[in-house]
Amino acid sequence: QVQLVESGGGSVQTGGSLRLSCAASGRTFSRDVMGWFRQAPGKEREFVAAIRWSGGSTYYPDSVKGRFTISRDNAKNTVYLQMTSLKPEDTGVYYCAADIAAAYGIEIGPDQYDYWGQGTQVTVSS
């Protein structure tokens, strides 16, 4: 059974940094895409970053491009999200997700992802 466990959330001030981790287990993820999403109160879940496990290609929306970096450690089966220059609008619950056997490119819609972690809170104060 696939399990995704996030950690690393917390509270920081504007301009600060955080690194989120997502420990994945339950299958070999070599054909999969791992993504990060966030959800603020009253808003829809928003795509933040994704990485193809094999090859390491990545994709970011403009809202985080240049500030966030997604990476993976194959030996630890862990995906990371390094967040810098954080802004109050980055506040939300951050979720790790797996798009199993993703055939083409990288999907940004949450409905395309098959497994989700429990989420970790990130709060950025001004």
pLDDT of residue 39: 98
User: What values do phi and psi take at 24, rounded to 5?
Assistant: -110, 140
Other CB atoms within 10 A of residue 25 CB: 12
Question: Averaged over 84-91, what is the pLDDT?
Answer: 98
Cβ neighbours of residue 111 closer than 8 Å, sequence gap 6 or more: none
Task: Give residue 101's pLDDT band: very low, low, confident or very high (50, 70, 90).
Answer: confident
Burial of 95: CB neighbours in 10 Å, binned 0-12, 13-18, 19+:
buried
Q: Which amino acid is at 115?
A: Y
Query: Which residues on neighbouring strands pair with residue 33, listed in sequence order?
Result: 52, 99
CA distance 113 to 96: 10
pLDDT of residue 104: 76
- pLDDT exceeds 80 at position 20: yes
Angle at 49 between CA 51 and CA 118, to 5 degrees: 95
pLDDT of residue 85: 98
Question: Averaged over 33-56, what is the pLDDT?
Answer: 95
pLDDT of residue 28: 83
- pLDDT exceeds 90 at position 98: yes
Q: Which amino acid is at 41?
A: P
Q: Are strands 10-13 and 120-125 parallel, antiparallel or unpaired?
A: parallel
Other CB atoms within 10 A of residue 54 CB: 14
pLDDT of residue 102: 79
Question: Averaged over 10-18, what is the pLDDT?
Answer: 98
